[in-house]
Amino acid sequence: MTAIVAPLVQPKRWHLLLILLCLGLGWGMTQPLGKISASTGHKPFGLIFWQLTVCTAVLGTLTLLRGKRLSLRPEALKFYVIVAILGTLVPNCTFYISIARLPSGIMSILISMVPLLAFPMAMALGMDHFSVRRLAGLGLGLTGVLLIALPNASLPDPAMAAFLPIAMIGPLFYAMESTYVAKTGTAGMDALQAMFGASLVGLILCTPVMLALGHFFPMPLPPGKAEWALIASSAMHALLYSAFVWLAAKAGAVFASQSSYIVTASGVIWAMLLLGERFSPWVWAAAAVMLLGLSLVQPKLRVQTLQPLNE
């Protein structure tokens, strides 16, 4: 197939906002799908193994169909390892531990902490600047977490509050990952190439840990409801994750992390529709406070040179 040579056209702001919307809606659905996946009692690294297997297959196929290949340059290998650890192995482990015990809607609300946590990281690295308004936004986000954790009536079972610190590890690592990508770029790769390599390396790193911990489980044939939920959420995650990495490199970590706005809203709605979850007034208040905090952390639109996906 003859390659089409075109100038690198920087996306307009409304294009970036449209991608942000699609990211939020898609990722919001993966929260209840993850809840269904963990409902059988499968262990975290077993679930991560199959998730990365699906991601590697999907992204590898798309990469090969586009005539690309896996980069083995040192800077690419470094990118794979860091993103695999920060963006998959650690946060997904804590996600599956938490989602098995906390309502899916709560997890969707907590993910809104990603841009709030990304802001002080970006500021510390000189990628953003201090402002009282943004600091207030971070304070409101932490207040929202307290509104979920402290009142006895906020959760279906007060004992669930013990898992909130574990659930917060995921947003912390996602913020670290998005800041890293925004700071360093994707080592000259496009987003699909980058995430294909990160998924493959994550699968390699995950396998010995899974076997050592005894978390492996065979994929049943045909898959059951929980397994289909895992497959579907993994395929969606592969594509959404690639789009997120592209967006973070193109528009900055704070802007990309604001997909959490839509993840929070759509995740709560999906949880109500798919899982029948209902929430106390404390939880709704927490969601409102955290979204208000997000509104104070304004995106910093920053455009980098990045290889376009349709090249």
Tell me: the pLDDT tens digits for 133-148?
878 888 888 898 888 8
Rounded CA gap, 261 and 257, in Å? Answer: 8
Location of structure tokens 């592969």: 238
**Alpha-carbon 229 to chain mean position:** 17
Confidence of residue 284 (pLDDT cuts 50, 70, 90): very high
pLDDT value at position 254? 65
Alpha helices in 66-163 (DSSP H): 74-84, 90-99, 104-110, 113-124, 132-149
Rounded CA gap, 142 and 136, in Å? Answer: 10
pLDDT value at position 60? 93
User: Residues 11-20: what's their mean pLDDT?
Assistant: 76
Residue 298 has pLDDT above 60, yes or no: no
Number of domains in the chain: 1
Question: Can you give the residue range of the structural domain that contains 122?
Answer: 15-296
Residue 174 has pLDDT above 80, yes or no: yes
Residue 59 lies in a domain: yes
Between the CA of residue 217 and those of 20, 44, 48, 52, 234, what are the distances in Å? 35, 11, 11, 14, 16
Query: pLDDT tens across 21-45, in order?
Result: 888 888 889 989 999 999 888 999 9
Query: pLDDT tens across 181-201, in order?
Result: 888 888 888 888 998 999 999
Rounded CA gap, 71 and 103, in Å? Answer: 40
Residue 307 lies in a domain: no
pLDDT value at position 1? 36
Query: pLDDT tens across 44-102, in order?
Result: 999 999 999 999 999 999 899 888 889 999 999 999 999 999 999 999 999 999 999 99
- Count other Cβ atoms within 10 Å, centred on residue 103: 22
Between the CA of residue 285 and those of 105, 125, 212, 279, what are the distances in Å? 13, 33, 42, 10
Residue 122 has pLDDT above 60, yes or no: yes
Residue 232 lies in a domain: yes
Residue 185 lies in a domain: yes
Query: pLDDT tens across 243-278, in order?
Result: 877 787 777 766 776 676 788 889 999 999 999 999
> Which tokens hold the place of 299?
């995106």
Between the CA of residue 275 and those of 33, 46, 71, 268, what are the distances in Å? 9, 23, 41, 10
> Which tokens hold the place of 250?
């193109």
Between the CA of residue 76 and those of 54, 80, 180, 201, 305, what are the distances in Å? 21, 6, 14, 11, 17
Residue 129 has pLDDT above 80, yes or no: no
Residue 39 lies in a domain: yes
Residue 289 lies in a domain: yes
Rounded CA gap, 256 and 259, in Å? Answer: 6
Query: pLDDT tens across 213-244, in order?
Result: 999 999 988 989 999 999 999 999 888 877 87
Rounded CA gap, 49 and 234, in Å? Answer: 10
Residue 8 has pLDDT above 80, yes or no: no
Residue 301 lies in a domain: no
> Which tokens hold the place of 40?
């059988």
DSSP state of 236: H
Between the CA of residue 98 and those of 34, 52, 110, 234, 299, what are the distances in Å? 10, 19, 11, 18, 29
User: How many percent of the chain have pLDDT more than 90?
Assistant: 41
pLDDT value at position 9? 43
Residue 19 lies in a domain: yes
pLDDT value at position 7? 39
pLDDT value at position 176? 93
What's the chain's average pLDDT? 84
pLDDT value at position 49? 97
pLDDT value at position 201? 97
